[in-house]
Structure 1
Amino acid sequence: MKPRRLPADSPNILIVLIDDVGPGTPETYGGEVHTPNLSRIAKTGISFNRFHSTAMCSPTRASLLTGRNHTRVGNGQIAELANDWDGFSGTIPKSSGTLAEVLKDYGYNTAAWGKWHNTPAAQTTSKGPFDYWPTGYGFEYFYGFLAGEASQYEPHLVRNTSPVETPEKLDDGSDYHLTGDIADDAILWLREQQAFSPDKPFFMYWATGASHGPHQVPIKWADKYKGRFDDGWDNYRERVFARAKKLGWIPENTKLTTRPDSLASWESIPDDEKPFQRRLMEVFAGFTEHADHHAGRIFNELERQGRLDNTLVFYIWGDNGSSAEGQNGTISELLAQNGIATKIEDHLRAINQLGGLDVLGSAKTDNMYHAGWAWAGSTPYKSTKLVAAHFGGTRQPMAVSWPKRLNADNRPRSQFHHVVDIVPTVYEVLGITPPREINGVPQDPIDGVSMQYTFNQPEAEGERKTQFFDIMGSRAIFHDGWMASTFGPRTPWTPGSPDLSTWDPRDDNWELYNLEEDWSQAHDLAAEMPERLRDMKELFLIESTKNKNLPIGGGLWVPVLHPEDKPAPPYTDWTFTGAITRMPEFTAPALGARPNTVTIDAVVPEKASGVLYALGGFSGGLTCYMDDGYLCYEYNLFEIERTKFRSEKRIPAGEVQIEVVSDFELVKPNLVGNIVLKVNGEKVAGGKVPRSAPLTFTANDCLDLGSDLGSPVSEFYYDRKPFEFSGTLNTTKVTYHE
């Protein structure tokens, strides 16, 4: 038996991480989304009002789990948009061991649930390799999804290293929803851990897909907020600002920053669009309260087991600020990532065809709210997620409780801290010296600073003196109470991709703030103090060099400059035998963007029906299927544009060869597709796809052959999913061509 390396009363560790929520959303700190369980942790512990993220999901998570800055651990960008520069590789190196690896070696049971988003995209199939999956980073158990987002109703999930299909019902008998599912599973794990290893403490990392897009929640949760946001995002900010001051969450002298000219006012929105924009916010609010509700179920279970008292809980409200990627309001949020500009009338037309506003939040939309709501959710700060220059992208409320050792105190901790500081805090609490080696690999220095000194000293001088920020060229440096920042070349709430042809980061306009006097970055001192700004800019470059954050803007390489370089399998042809399912889109052939031919040898019965192959989901994808003997093809451009082809005659029964030839060419600004369907060498259907998706259809759905699992691409067979092919697939070959 291994010797015990921890004191007998070592606390359990629980990290709860909510996704894409800003500081102005939770009622706990002045917002208007009901968050009783965040309030519960805050009331039984302490809260931090100057705690920070990186402004983006994979980077924040990598820093949180390792205690190192995001580019030091290769996460300057999300995993799906990684490139070859060290700081943007998308892979946490084994020289930066995770908290889970260390705690497991010290005798903790370790487990993670929900969103992961720290595995190289090309390594997410069921055949691995698994070195960079959660189980390869010290988690003994994982149940969730590897990508950056997932359908809340039809997710592609894995348990440890195996794909699993979701149950139809949750433990309470309600219809399936991902947040409830990961709460059910975590509660079961807690009960088993107590039964099987009662002498071991545990480390749980419970990270919801909420409130990242798509915003999906049962209608009763959205309806709780009907009418609450009718007066728009500008008035929301005013109310939240006043409430946060009254609560003492922000200082009395804080200024409410102004709306940027590039972001629409509520009054400028046409009246006939306002019901759509209101409903999007109602759905988001219900979705977010629903996530807090299920976090509370875990707290309740720990209390029932008598273990909450000795559990150190970090409840982190956001891996970045509120997301403006919904831009003008959307029913399919990957439109923004693909740089496809649309009009609100496109979205309204699509949802009216699906049944009206009540379809928002359902499995039939991947909706996200207008960027104005994201800006409101970042009250009182400037900007949103993806802006590392301003606190609207990086400042995340955090509540910490540990009833056995930490006295409840409602005075906010205002020391400047960052997600890299969680790991060293846990190490200090447990008396652990960071290991020099893990599994024989020498370890990188830890960048974080323990926050334990603040636990019972609310007025203690802050011990984090310097912190750099950079996401896609939006960057900042904090040092000794000052902040220098520059917005960068990309505005998240502006549709389309930025023009980088003339961008030179050396020419960017920098701002300067005295944070001891200017809580919200409202008063730019750059023109008044050029020498201090010069010194801060030099410090930023020093920190960037130390942390592999060069070249500046390196994270823009794939999404803006070279989408063709996105991480992809190294193959140019594939051969599939029989039916194959659950091939993650980032590892699959790019059937919707690269010239290719799909050749299917099949045995087709009379009046055959069912899916031959499908890539993506209802929010965007393509599918080739048969209906009553007819060959059909559909290119679903994010629900706003569906291009469909159907053969004029039934396909003959028997052994048949079906070919789908797809050619794509850039006819600016669109990637246009030309599709030809052939049977036994003869064209039977085809035509032009006016706009294609250059980057990806989904973040988490898959390629399926012989059925359409998860979210179905076509509304035609939505009610017949997974719409299995009634014949037999012998071989399916995919070949890229010029």
Structure 2
Amino acid sequence: MSPQDVLPFPPTPSASIAGRTMQESVYESRVQPRRLPEGAPNILIVLIDDAGPGLPSTFGGEVRTDTLTRVHSGGIGFNRFHTTAMCSPSRASFLTGRNHHRIGNGQIAELANDWDGYAGEIPKSSALAADVLRNYGYATAAFGKWHNTPAIETTAAGPFHNWPTGVGFEYFYGFLAGEASQYEPNLVRNTTSVLPPRSAEEGYHLSEDLADDAIGWLHRHSALQPDKPFYMYWASGCLHGPHHVMKEWADKYAGKFDDGWDAYRERVYHRAKEMGWIPENAQLTPRDAALSAWADVPEDERPFQRRLMEVAAGFAEHVDVQVGRIVDEIEAMGYGDNTLMFYIWGDNGSSGEGQNGTISELLAQNGIPTTTDMHVKALDELGGLDALGSPKTDNQYHAGWAWAGSTPYKGMKLLASHLGGTRNPMVVRWPARIAPDATPRSQFHHCNDLVPTIYEVLGITPPRVVNGIPQDPIDGVSLAYTFDDPTAQGRLHTQYFEILGSRAIYHDGWMASAFGPRAPWVPGMPPGIREWTPDQDVWELYDLDHDWSQANDLADQMPDKLAQMREMFAMEAARNSVYPIGGGLWVPFMHPELRISTPYREWDFTGDITRMPEFCAPALGNRANTVTIEAQVPDRANGVLYALGSGSGGLTCYVDDGYLCYEYNLFIVMRTKIRSAERVPAGRATIEVETAYAEPRPGGPLDITVKVDGVGFASGRVPVSAPLLFTANDCLDIGTCLGSPVALDYYDRAPFPFNGHIEKVNVRYTS
């Protein structure tokens, strides 16, 4: 196949010859040229979220992953495959074949900033493989977590050029943000916001819904365009927080983790060796001094910590079963033999963002300190430990379990310096082309290698121009050379890593690493973070060819080699727009006031506005503001006037039997409830909710005043506010609460629509 430097392909000219009349003309149907080689495979990419190598039973872990095992048994596995250590960066790299900073994804999309490497938008000069394959004749579809659209562009108004359907996918069903409730997600189909097809009480779960929709798309594909191969990207919201799964799945693991994370690591380490997944000389790295040992956990807190892991394990097994349903359908439809499947267990390592174990995982992102006792006491109101994994909590396990899930490595998610954050198992199956082989592929590879692998398999030359825009070079190296030869010499020689100041450089078997300014498992603001510079960091040096898990630091013994590696990192950083080092820290730790938000200071809404993503909505919970509602109120009215956020954190104003109510739900652990002493009179009313800082500082207390027709009806003080945001994926709703119910008091009545009529709502910032 000849190289095609410019996409899209030019139109196919007519094969007919037009004369002056139809009688003088020659008619012949034009034949569209074939762009793909005969027998081009279908392609399926499955990406699990926040899942470390020490979890799946396929490789020695204790979470049952029958589908992963089945795909591995029918294909090959890669035990030195690497990600970036963070969600959006890995996904951008997977989908484009470029390094994450080069394409503006040095940080998650929601915390982007103005530096090129951290801008949060994939440039059109780095077209996704989906766009290229679509031009060549593939049917393309994406499902699940996206997390590569600028947060400010995620409303129903778009713009849509950075949504999946704007970058090469002909169909998308899933969520645009970095995480979602598995029971009440804010979903998108193509460019339209949609509600889940049923409620949690009716058995809804997002992982199952994503599998259902993918299977439905396969059926339509087979019926409507069977001559085309398909390219499907299926990216679950599991195992990212919140850890949501039905009780029966969590109960499968009851008692299995009773001896804690230290013992778990020992078991998995030995089993992974016995299975040949890690080499015999691999060492089990020690626990960081700042991370609690299981023996340090008080006996009365252990049931909470155990149950968190049981829920996570059930959640992970459940998503693997959903992947199995898709694989089953592909095989039943006759596609199995010629489908090239990449099953990647994690876009980064296991996440320690649950820190000390939490019932509301965005507490950590907001830097709000809590105690385990606060979480356990809040659970009592929700039904005790059985509420973990349910719609009433947004739980995530203790960072000790994330460390266990990263066995045998030191790190976890957000640490680009150590392999626990970046080394993720990948299995590849293609029965028509790859013979099953249990020998692990141990060549060093990276997530930017998937795209060039696909291009090599299909004989596609990366285009120089796509949609009129000159293209950046592909950074990845095809790993197709390993398909038939497990001992082939590795072809990826150099790869840098950087996330939040944590960084590393790999070159020909060596890795130099700098831990960076923060340990993700330590709650609160890292001391000295505002004054930190990369010059303060101590670098480590590892001979990875002889030290599988970064157990032996050679920096003191080989200063010249370390200096050489550091210089190489500096060059790669300059070439890939990594500077300033730690640029991803700018918003979340140094300038939270610069978090992405709309440019507006005042809004006028009609009463039917719903599903406005929180990042694009008025910041009602952490800006001084006044909400003014013009409404027709029935006698003894009921229903939500507005709600922002979710049951795991948010605020709401509603009417209950005529009484005006306000609740500020600080991530479940603290609820401020304000209720009027009198009912709102029936008839036309102007309701005002005034929010003012009692102390002008992020997270400071808020004074709330509720008025009806200018008369004070209720007031109260919120002692602690959320400095950053309530949710990653929930929304502002007016006149109803369509997502997760913010207030427990109307949980059983959700979505609890207002039974009057809201004429208009004005929101304005007052400072």
After superposition, where does 1:153-192 map in structure 2 within 5 Å?
153-168=183-198, 175-192=203-220
Cα distance change, pair 453–665 in 1 and its aligned pair in 2 (3 A): farther
Supply the distance in 1 between the matched residues of 2:92 and 2:486 (Cα, whole angstroms): 28
1:321 maps to 2:343: no
Letter paired with 1:175:
G
Show CA shifts across 1:519-541 (max 9, x none). 00000011111111111111111
Supply the distance in 2 between the matched residues of 1:312 and 1:244 (Cα, whole angstroms): 26
Supply the distance in 2 between the matched residues of 1:671 and 1:311 (Cα, whole angstroms): 55
Identity %: 65
Displacement of 1:2: 3.1
After superposition, where does 1:382-397 map in structure 2 within 5 Å?
382-397=410-425
Q: Name the residue aligned to 2:622.
A: 593
DSSP 3-state at the match of 1:267: helix
Supply the distance in 2 between the matched residues of 1:284 and 1:667 (Cα, whole angstroms): 39
User: Residue 374 of structure 2: which of 319, 322, 346 is its match?
Assistant: 346
1:705 maps to 2:713: no
Q: Name the residue aligned to 2:12.
A: none
User: Residue 70 of structure 1: which of 91, 100, 110 is its match?
Assistant: 100
The aligned length equals 736
Equivalent pair of 2:611/2:731 in contact (CA under 8 Å): yes
Supply the distance in 1 between the matched residues of 2:202 and 2:227 (Cα, whole angstroms): 35
DSSP 3-state at the match of 1:735: strand
Letter paired with 2:752:
F
Equivalent pair of 2:698/2:723 in contact (CA under 8 Å): no
Displacement of 1:666: 4.9
Letter paired with 1:39:
T
1:80 maps to 2:110: yes
Letter paired with 1:467:
Q
Displacement of 1:3: 1.6
Displacement of 1:381: 0.1
Cα distance change, pair 666–467 in 1 and its aligned pair in 2 (3 A): farther
Displacement of 1:42: 0.5
Displacement of 1:665: 5.4
After superposition, where does 1:360-379 map in structure 2 within 5 Å?
360-379=388-407
Displacement of 1:504: 1.5
Q: Name the residue aligned to 1:567.
A: 596
Q: Name the residue aligned to 1:91.
A: 121
Displacement of 1:440: 0.6
User: Residue 82 of structure 2: which of 22, 33, 52 is its match?
Assistant: 52
Displacement of 1:388: 0.4
Letter paired with 2:631:
A
Supply the distance in 2 between the matched residues of 1:47 and 1:259 (Cα, whole angstroms): 27
1:625 maps to 2:664: no
Supply the distance in 2 between the matched residues of 1:234 and 1:432 (Cα, whole angstroms): 48
Q: Name the residue aligned to 1:259.
A: 287
Letter paired with 1:276:
F
Q: Name the residue aligned to 1:279.
A: 307
Displacement of 1:392: 0.6
DSSP 3-state at the match of 1:34: coil
1:5 maps to 2:35: yes
Supply the distance in 2 between the matched residues of 1:346 and 1:2 (Cα, whole angstroms): 66
Show CA shifts across 1:386-432 (max 9, x none). 00000010000000000000010000000000000000000000000
Q: Name the residue aligned to 2:54.
A: 24
Show CA shifts across 1:34-60 (max 9, x none). 000000110000000000000000000
1:550 maps to 2:579: yes
Equivalent pair of 2:622/2:698 in contact (CA under 8 Å): no
Displacement of 1:672: 1.5
Supply the distance in 2 between the matched residues of 1:383 and 1:235 (Cα, whole angstroms): 17
- Larger radius of gyration, structure 1 or 2? 2
Letter paired with 1:85:
W
Q: Name the residue aligned to 2:228.
A: 200
User: Residue 33 of structure 1: which of 59, 63, 67 is its match?
Assistant: 63
After superposition, where does 1:301-450 map in structure 2 within 5 Å?
301-450=329-478
Letter paired with 2:49:
D
DSSP 3-state at the match of 1:648: strand
Letter paired with 1:491:
A
Show CA shifts across 1:500-529 (max 9, x none). 133121121110000011000000011111
Supply the distance in 2 between the matched residues of 1:666 and 1:104 (Cα, whole angstroms): 55
1:583 maps to 2:632: no
DSSP 3-state at the match of 2:323: helix
After superposition, where does 1:630-641 map in structure 2 within 5 Å?
630-641=659-670
DSSP 3-state at the match of 2:420: helix
Supply the distance in 2 between the matched residues of 1:2 and 1:583 (Cα, whole angstroms): 43
DSSP 3-state at the match of 1:484: strand
Q: Name the residue aligned to 1:679.
A: 708
Letter paired with 1:151:
S
1:43 maps to 2:73: yes
Letter paired with 1:251:
P
TM-score (norm 1): 0.99
1:456 maps to 2:484: yes
1:719 maps to 2:754: no
Displacement of 1:679: 1.1
DSSP 3-state at the match of 2:686: strand
Displacement of 1:605: 1.0
Supply the distance in 2 between the matched residues of 1:485 and 1:232 (Cα, whole angstroms): 29
Q: Name the residue aligned to 2:542.
A: 513
Supply the distance in 2 between the matched residues of 1:27 and 1:485 (Cα, whole angstroms): 29
Letter paired with 2:703:
N
Equivalent pair of 2:358/2:395 in contact (CA under 8 Å): yes
DSSP 3-state at the match of 2:94: helix
DSSP 3-state at the match of 1:400: strand
Q: Name the residue aligned to 1:147.
A: 177
1:127 maps to 2:157: yes
Displacement of 1:664: 2.4
Supply the distance in 2 between the matched residues of 1:220 and 1:145 (Cα, whole angstroms): 26
Supply the distance in 2 between the matched residues of 1:533 and 1:711 (Cα, whole angstroms): 51
DSSP 3-state at the match of 1:671: coil
Equivalent pair of 2:253/2:313 in contact (CA under 8 Å): yes
Show CA shifts across 1:593-635 (max 9, x none). 0111111111111111100000000000000001111111000
Displacement of 1:680: 1.0
Displacement of 1:169: 6.9
Supply the distance in 1 between the matched residues of 2:693 and 2:165 (Cα, whole angstroms): 39
Letter paired with 2:732:
L
User: Residue 209 of structure 1: which of 237, 244, 250 is its match?
Assistant: 237
Unaligned runs of 5+ in 1: none
Supply the distance in 2 between the matched residues of 1:513 and 1:668 (Cα, whole angstroms): 44
Displacement of 1:8: 2.5
Supply the distance in 2 between the matched residues of 1:638 and 1:217 (Cα, whole angstroms): 19
DSSP 3-state at the match of 1:257: coil
Letter paired with 2:606:
T
Supply the distance in 2 between the matched residues of 1:577 and 1:323 (Cα, whole angstroms): 40
Show CA shifts across 1:679-732 (max 9, x none). 111211112111111111001000000000011100000010110011111110
Equivalent pair of 2:184/2:199 in contact (CA under 8 Å): no
Displacement of 1:737: 1.5
Show CA shifts across 1:559-585 (max 9, x none). 001111111111000000122100000
Cα distance change, pair 53–353 in 1 and its aligned pair in 2 (3 A): same
Supply the distance in 1 between the matched residues of 2:154 and 2:541 (Cα, whole angstroms): 42
Q: Name the residue aligned to 1:137.
A: 167
Q: Name the residue aligned to 2:568.
A: 539
Q: Name the residue aligned to 1:657.
A: 686
